[in-house]
Each structure stands twice: as C-alpha cells, then as structure tokens.
Structure 1
C-alpha cells in the first residue's frame, strides 16, 4: 500500500496505459483498428486523453482507485463539459495484480455532451491557508460515486464510449 502512495504519479500513468492498451486490444480483436489516442499538451480543461473511434471523439478524464479504497468522490473540471462527448471514467484496480475493473462512468451517451454540472458541489482545496480556511476551487466540481454508472467490463466501457462494437 505504501508504494501506491509514494509512487502515485507512476501508478497513475501505469493505470492509464493499461486502460488505453485494453481499449486498443478491443479495437484490434474486432478488426476495426480505428481507435486513435491523443494526449493534451497542456492540462487545463480536465481531460487526460482524447479517444476517437467510429467518428466519435471523447475527451476523457481518468480517475483511479484501488479496490477496497475509501474514496467516495471525484473532482471534475467544469471545462470538460465544453468538450464534445466529454466524460469521466473512474477505474478501480486490484492493488496487487493491477487487474482493471469495475469502471464507473460519468458522461452522456456516445456523441452527447457531459451532463450539466450546475448545482454540483464546488470543490475546495485540500490544504487550508494560514488561518486553516480551505478556499473554493471555482472550476472544479465534486461528484459522488452515486452519480457514476457502474460498468463491469472494459468491452462494455468501449461500447459506452463509442456505441456498438
């Protein structure tokens, strides 16, 4: 467990690569081989990866938690709603084997925008200022796990992102 905390940036990239690799494997196995993957040069709109398949472009914010973890909320950048078909995928993984799944999805159907974030709780900084006050982060919203839709398999994630395989 200590390694997951100490090397969280390494783990985050590893989970991202495993996730993208699984999506590419699905595209390969289905003979389409049309999945394109891109990364933003600057991270100021909340997404981690851009995926395109079947003429659909998805701007995806990735989140990761190990199975059994206590995290019940995720922070989402409001600019993600400005992107066509923006979405958030919360990936659960086994901390020993790194096997992925289940997945939790927040977004619209393939080709539809992110659901409105109006009225969603504004996130606060995790650390307080010198007086202990935690300032609001006006561009960040906090979603509860109950606002996400559970998806059990990576094949089903692909279908949610791009429609029928």
Structure 2
C-alpha cells in the first residue's frame, strides 16, 4: 500500500513539474518587402491567413514538445510563393486560371528569446524544386509544407538558423 502511495506521489510530482513550464509564446509578422508583394500582387487577406497558419503550425508542434518552454518566439515571414494564383491575381490578370500551377515555398526569419533571456536566431526556407511535385490542390500548399517542416524541427529542438 505504501509503495502505491509513493508511486502516486511521484507521478503527481512529475506531472506538476511539466505543468509548471509555460508553453512558448509565438508571434508572426510579415516582412516589409513581402507586405508590399501582398498589397500589390497576392492580396492582403493572404497575409493574414499565412501568418495565422504559421503561428498555428508552430504552436501545435510545440504543444507536443518541451523544447522552448517559456520562450518567446518571434517570427517574420520574409517570402512566400504560391502554387496556384491567389484570388487577387485571378482578378487582376484576365485569362489566368486556377488550373495554373507552379513551384512554391516560403522563407522564415526571426529569433527565439529563451526564458533566461538568451537569444537564438532563426532562419529557414524551403521551396519545391521539382515541378512534378508542385501540383498541390491548394494555393499555398508548398508554403504550408514549409511551415510544418519548420515547426517540426523547432519542436525537436533542432538548429533552424543554418539554412
């Protein structure tokens, strides 16, 4: 009976220790050059959607990990390329079709500020290089793939400033 109580107490202490660690806070903004591209070419609503997608990918990945607990993660979306035309591009360019497709991807920069104040730069990019692999059904297929790859690496605690 005492061993059962001891095991229960140990399990409670172990779970309390992990519960005390606050998850990382994640903020995402758009770089100035990319913002101009959203305003002129892609459409402003696309910027809002992509920053929300990047934030959600990182938050979801970090929720499954203890990497960067208590940190502040500040990300800047510096470039994106769509796989298909955006709604603004379709409206601005007669003859353009949703059947059009190309290679896409994204670039992310920023920093991780650890709970103790240490800063770590973040830089990651990935663009599809094979047009035969770029035929996604979604406008931002490769960009979202980039967000997911980045988030998984971040959650594993891998160095993400090398690329």
| TM superposition score category, shorter chain reference | 0.3 to 0.5
Q: TM-score, normalised by structure 1?
A: 0.34
User: Relative to total residues, which structure has the larger helix share, 1 or 2?
Assistant: 2
Structure index of larger Rg: 2
